[in-house]
A and B are shown apart, each in its own frame.
Chain A
Amino acid sequence: MTAALSVVLPLALAPLAAGVVNRVKALFGGRRGKPLAQSYRDILKCLGKGATISRTATWLFRAGPAANLAATLGALLFVPLGNLPAAISFPGDIFVFAYLLAMGRFFTIMAALDTGSSFEGMGASREAVFSCLAEPMLFLALMALARYADNLSLSGMLAAVSSGSWLSGAPVLALVTVSLFLLLLSENCRVPFDDPNTHLELTMIHEVMVLDHGGPDLGFIQYAQTLKLWIFSAVTASLLLPAASGSAALDALWGLAGLFAAAVAVGVTESIMARLRLIRVPPLLAAAGAFAALALVLVGD
């Protein structure tokens, strides 16, 4: 029952979290901003539209967004929301989780290359390279957490850590949190790694890969994007939440509070930072890895 909540809530509320990020950015910029529910409207509008498909494209272009959404939905099953356990958990599920996301990425990249466009090739190349560097860092951070919690499942290790653990393990948890937050920004194409609102295709990463998609395909892509933001926010926020209260409703409330707090943090980071030049991205990812490795060493035996 509680496990179902950690799946149903993101399915329903993920676009809202994206809305919160946008609202925070607008407030920082002195604008009123889009309505909080704008992401829902965008997705629904896309789902109701027709499509135009280039003569260059093959079946991969059509299958890419569906495969990506399916993989993201699959990965979502492993993610707890605060102290609400995930739908599926077993020792070693972190590897299945990460590889499902990688599978989604593979199909997004292939769909981008399928258009034969130089811009989309450029985005695909960058996405492949940056995610290749982010993946080991993610595993190092999760490995530090796993060793700290002595548990090899995502639900288990996140359940073992709560705001109370910070009294004893503050250095380790702080390093892991920073590392996971950096990965949250990088995997979701946020400033300083990528700018979802940029208007220059040459500097885009993710947005440029989906330039040619329209209609339901674009709807799938946008929904998968908000789900991915939810997934990484939920993992990061779990480290800071209080221990399980025993009441599902209270746990769900805390989980949502943590998640939206993470969304606000993303919005604030995006507002106060400039986007990095592309060649500066690998060093920042390396820094995330260094934090995680340091945390691993600090955990000790």
Chain B
Amino acid sequence: MTLFLAALLLLFASALAALVLGRARAANLAGPLGCAAGCALGLASAVGALFSATPPALHLPWNIPFGALSLAIDPLSALFLLPTFTLGGAAAVYGRGYLSAMAGKRNLGAHWFFFCLMLAGMALAVCATNAVLFLISWEIMSLSPFFLICLDHDNDAVRAAGRTYLFAAHLGTAFLMAFFLIMGRLAGSLEFAAMARIAPGVLAPLAPALFCLALAGFGVKAGVFPLHVWLPEAHPAAPSHVSAFMSGALIKAGVYGILRSLILIGPMTPWMGQALVALGLITAVPALLIGIGQGELKRFLAFSSIENIGIMILALGLGILAASTGHPGAALLAFSGMLLHVVNHALLKGLLFFSAGSVLHAVGHGSMERLGGLAKRMPVTALAFILAGAAISGLPPGNAFFGELLIYVGGGIAALDLPLPSAGYAWACVAGLALIGGLSVIGFTRASGIVFLGEPRTDDAANAHDPDLSMRAAMVFLAACAAGAALASPALLRMILPAVRPLLAGQSPDLPAASSIVVNPEALLQTAVWIAAGATALALVLVLVRRWLLAGRPVHVGGDRGTWDCGYARPAPRMQYTASSYAEPMTSMFRRLLGETRRVKPPRGLFPAQGTASFASATPDRARDGLFLPLFTAVGAACDAVKRFQHGNLNLYILYVLATLVILLAFSLEFFA
């Protein structure tokens, strides 16, 4: 606990130091340095807590009503601290390089102040065991990104994105307050420990309402459909190290919240599992379908984050369904796969946003159709993005494969053992995961193929180069972490299992646990690691065989030898396949659903003049345009109607006061009774 508190203190201290330094160049040194040091301390405390027999805890009185400084790093909290501090530290190092051009010109002190505050807020939120402390740190964590997103506030689009984020964050907190007030009233205390002791009989009638409140409140943060709309707006607008942290770690706070509230609500019921499976599928599949139609690199990555949250929700639902129907084996696999995916996704998404940020930094924009050929110009960035893209699609030997494998096998066992109506959900899980994996492959081959391979489509892409040392170091660090997480996934699983136990505890033990298939998750992962490593080694051997076969034979590389392209004489970069063409088979298949719009000006005549024909397609986010825009417009109109009472005329205001007083007087005299 001392280490954790020291980490928090260091974060707050560097926040203040950065704030004081303000526009000075040193702010871009003190901020990231203090941040990285704080994260290193925090990481040490989290790892220590994972291995300690009793969770470190702290309880101090506080003079806020019902509040107390109650902190505890139980295994679940420690598990979510891991990505927070790993990614937070890496993002700080990366951000120093990313913002170096602005140092001395803009107020980077304020930026680093809010960055440290966001890290500290999230660390506090996942460790708080008192509802008041939790909500306060949750608000710190939710509000600071607004200032981080709006770094480039001269830009209209950035301000609009910041506003969307702010609305979403506040809406979520409103649900959370309701959730904790109800729980607190039932428990008679706002301590989590007291809430966990509420008698099941008292809680049962309210459980559905509480479940929905928690899901709505935390779902906004996590980006669950249809509450995901802030992600694709905020991520492209924010500086890349901020989007990396938000996508990799911050949205996981929502997942943490859902898990924590489920543990507090108590015995899980099959319908919760079924609802979460359905919610996971309708989060992940549409997110990717919309995502593969996006032309902006970071916007696509935002949709991929929503998809991965969908996978986590899906696995959570599968685990609850299996646990509540007496299949703890499948539930264990699903829950541990989900938590493993939380860690793996954080590393990979951080790496992807870092490399996308390097592209933005080098070229100045992230529009795929205007990029290309970057692999030759920025080899480190390209390698990071392509391999992380393969890994995040769940392909072996990437680290995300191992988490998804556990979910798959859990789903497979549930699909075999559950009775018929419930088994359908397990089948949907397995088939849905396969579809999600395939869609993710489309999305990431498209993004990495169009952006990094081929020939540059514009001059700015042709002049790109790899970023400076601090940015490269952050990428290499995360890549090494991801490779380590893949190789050591059995060990990682062993660290995760204590966090799974509270989810499995309290499930009705009287149900029959009849399973024909017993899988030891650790042994399964060990086998999978051997196979993945073997396949990788085999690929390397084959590369050597290829080299040996080619030795002494005529090999012509490059020079005047262009791509054959069926003998086309003068290929030009503009003739390459585009990002929209690549996604076209899929987007046109789901055109009705997605509402894709196309603007086509076909070529006319036998010799169309240059620039007269054009084609553009865009895939909107229907949840945003169809649901939230009309909703908020309606709320805005209602507010406008109220504005009529606010004239600015003093006489009128005095009349209001008088009228109110008369009505109150009438009430107190029981005039209406």
Q: A residues engaging B (CB < 8 A)? A: 47-58, 60, 62-63, 65-67, 69-71, 73-74, 77, 88, 90-92, 94-96, 98-100, 102-103, 105-106, 109-110, 113-122, 124-126, 128-129, 131-133, 135-140, 143, 146-147, 150-152, 201, 211-212, 215-217, 220, 278, 282, 289, 293, 296, 300-301
Q: Which of B396-455 contact A (CB under 8 A)?
A: 396, 401, 405, 408-409, 412-413, 415-416, 419-420, 423, 427, 430-432, 434-435, 437-439, 441-442, 445-446, 448-450, 453-455
Could you tell me the distance between the alpha carbons of A47 and B652 in the complex, rounded to whole angstroms? 93
Q: What residue of chain B has the Cβ atom nearest to residue A121's Cβ?
A: B577
By a CB distance below 8 angstroms, the chain A residues around B527 are 88, 90
By a CB distance below 8 angstroms, the chain A residues around B585 are 125-126, 129, 278
Q: Is B519 in the interface zone, CB < 8 Å from A? A: yes
Check B546–A125 contact: CB distance below 8 A.
no
Q: Is B239 in the interface zone, CB < 8 Å from A? A: no
Can you list 24 A-B pairs with a CB-CB distance of less than 8 A?
A50-B554, A50-B556, A55-B561, A58-B382, A62-B543, A71-B535, A91-B409, A95-B408, A96-B405, A103-B395, A106-B445, A109-B449, A110-B448, A117-B563, A122-B581, A128-B441, A128-B445, A128-B582, A129-B589, A137-B431, A139-B434, A151-B516, A215-B550, A301-B420
Check A105–B542 contact: CB distance below 8 A.
no
Interface majority SS on B: helix, strand, loop or mixed? helix
Check A116–B454 contact: CB distance below 8 A.
yes
Could you tell me the distance between the alpha carbons of A278 and B531 in the complex, rounded to whole angstroms? 36
Check A216–B395 contact: CB distance below 8 A.
no
Distance from A103 Cβ to chain B, minimum over Cβ atoms (Å): 4
Check B442–A152 contact: CB distance below 8 A.
no
Return the 8 tightest CB-CB contacts between A and B, nearest first: A121-B577, A132-B438, A116-B454, A113-B449, A92-B409, A55-B558, A70-B539, A50-B554
Check A110–B386 contact: CB distance below 8 A.
yes
By a CB distance below 8 angstroms, the chain B residues around A151 are 516-517
Residues 582-593 of B, flagged 1 when their CB comes within 8 A of A and 0 if not, give 111110010000
Could you tell me the distance between the alpha carbons of A57 and B454 in the complex, rounded to whole angstroms? 7
Could you tell me the distance between the alpha carbons of A159 and B19 in the complex, rounded to whole angstroms? 69
Residues 557-576 of B, flagged 1 when their CB comes within 8 A of A and 0 if not, give 11111111110000101011
Check B453–A110 contact: CB distance below 8 A.
yes
By a CB distance below 8 angstroms, the chain B residues around A124 are 445, 449, 577, 582
Check A146–B566 contact: CB distance below 8 A.
no
Contact residue among A56, A73, A278, A282 (Cβ-Cβ distance under 8 Å from B563): A56
Could you tell me the distance between the alpha carbons of A2 and B455 in the complex, rounded to whole angstroms? 50
Contact of A139 with B550 at beta-carbon distance under 8 Å, contacts A53-B557, A60-B453, A66-B539 already known: no
A-B contact count (CB 8 A): 277
Could you tell me the distance between the alpha carbons of A247 and B545 in the complex, rounded to whole angstroms? 37
Contact residue among B396, B562, B565 (Cβ-Cβ distance under 8 Å from A96): B396
Distance from A207 Cβ to chain B, minimum over Cβ atoms (Å): 12
Contact of A128 with B390 at beta-carbon distance under 8 Å, contacts A114-B453, A116-B455 already known: no
Contact of A139 with B430 at beta-carbon distance under 8 Å, contacts A60-B386, A115-B563 already known: yes
Could you tell me the distance between the alpha carbons of A54 and B564 in the complex, rounded to whole angstroms? 7
Contact of A217 with B546 at beta-carbon distance under 8 Å, contacts A60-B386, A152-B413 already known: yes
Contact residue among A53, A105, A116, A136 (Cβ-Cβ distance under 8 Å from B555): A53
By a CB distance below 8 angstroms, the chain A residues around B639 are none
Check B395–A74 contact: CB distance below 8 A.
no
| Residue among B373, B401, B419 with max Cβ neighbours from chain A (10 Å) | B401
Check A121–B528 contact: CB distance below 8 A.
no
Contact of A143 with B412 at beta-carbon distance under 8 Å, contacts A116-B563, A135-B434 already known: yes
Contact residue among B531, B557, B561 (Cβ-Cβ distance under 8 Å from A88): B531
Contact residue among B427, B531, B581 (Cβ-Cβ distance under 8 Å from A140): B427
Check B395–A102 contact: CB distance below 8 A.
yes
By a CB distance below 8 angstroms, the chain A residues around B441 are 102, 105-106, 109, 128, 131-132
By a CB distance below 8 angstroms, the chain B residues around A116 are 372-373, 453-455, 563, 571, 573, 576
Q: Which of B526-557 contact A (CB under 8 A)?
A: 527-528, 531, 534-536, 538-539, 541-543, 545-546, 549-550, 553-557
Contact of A52 with B561 at beta-carbon distance under 8 Å, contacts A95-B408, A102-B437, A152-B517 already known: yes
Distance from B346 Cβ to chain A, minimum over Cβ atoms (Å): 21
Q: Is B524 in the interface zone, CB < 8 Å from A? A: yes
| Residue among A58, A88, A215 with max Cβ neighbours from chain B (10 Å) | A58
By a CB distance below 8 angstroms, the chain B residues around A128 are 438, 441-442, 445-446, 582
Check A136–B438 contact: CB distance below 8 A.
yes
Check A152–B412 contact: CB distance below 8 A.
yes
Q: Is B290 in the interface zone, CB < 8 Å from A? A: no
Could you tell me the distance between the alpha carbons of A150 and B539 in the complex, rounded to whole angstroms? 34
By a CB distance below 8 angstroms, the chain A residues around B430 are 139-140, 143
Check B412–A95 contact: CB distance below 8 A.
yes
Check B565–A98 contact: CB distance below 8 A.
no
By a CB distance below 8 angstroms, the chain B residues around A122 are 577, 581
By a CB distance below 8 angstroms, the chain A residues around B543 are 62-63, 66
Q: What residue of chain B has the Cβ atom nearest to residue A149's Cβ?
A: B416
Contact residue among B439, B535, B576 (Cβ-Cβ distance under 8 Å from A74): B535
Contact of A143 with B415 at beta-carbon distance under 8 Å, contacts A53-B556, A54-B561, A91-B409 already known: yes
By a CB distance below 8 angstroms, the chain B residues around A150 are 416, 516
Contact of A106 with B409 at beta-carbon distance under 8 Å, contacts A70-B539, A73-B538, A135-B438 already known: no
Q: Is B328 in the interface zone, CB < 8 Å from A? A: no
Could you tell me the distance between the alpha carbons of A73 and B557 in the complex, rounded to whole angstroms? 28
Contact of A92 with B524 at beta-carbon distance under 8 Å, contacts A55-B561, A103-B535, A129-B586 already known: yes
Q: Is B260 in the interface zone, CB < 8 Å from A? A: no
By a CB distance below 8 angstroms, the chain B residues around A74 are 531, 534-535, 538
Check B409–A135 contact: CB distance below 8 A.
no
Q: Is B267 in the interface zone, CB < 8 Å from A? A: no
By a CB distance below 8 angstroms, the chain A residues around B554 are 50
Could you tell me the distance between the alpha carbons of A138 and B524 in the complex, rounded to whole angstroms? 22
Q: What residue of chain A has the Cβ atom nearest to residue B528's Cβ?
A: A96
Residues 144-186 of B, flagged 1 when their CB comes within 8 A of A and 0 if not, give 0000000000000000000000000000000000000000000
Could you tell me the distance between the alpha carbons of A180 and B427 in the complex, rounded to whole angstroms? 17
Could you tell me the distance between the alpha carbons of A138 and B430 in the complex, rounded to whole angstroms? 11
Contact residue among A69, A99, A146 (Cβ-Cβ distance under 8 Å from B415): A146
Could you tell me the distance between the alpha carbons of A96 and B516 in the complex, rounded to whole angstroms? 20
Could you tell me the distance between the alpha carbons of A151 and B519 in the complex, rounded to whole angstroms? 12
Distance from B420 Cβ to chain A, minimum over Cβ atoms (Å): 6
Could you tell me the distance between the alpha carbons of A121 and B542 in the complex, rounded to whole angstroms? 25
| Residue among B438, B559, B573, B582 with max Cβ neighbours from chain A (10 Å) | B438
Could you tell me the distance between the alpha carbons of A293 and B243 in the complex, rounded to whole angstroms? 40
Distance from A10 Cβ to chain B, minimum over Cβ atoms (Å): 15
By a CB distance below 8 angstroms, the chain B residues around A131 are 438, 441
By a CB distance below 8 angstroms, the chain A residues around B405 are 92, 95-96, 99
Check A109–B445 contact: CB distance below 8 A.
yes
Contact residue among A105, A139, A146, A282 (Cβ-Cβ distance under 8 Å from B589): A282
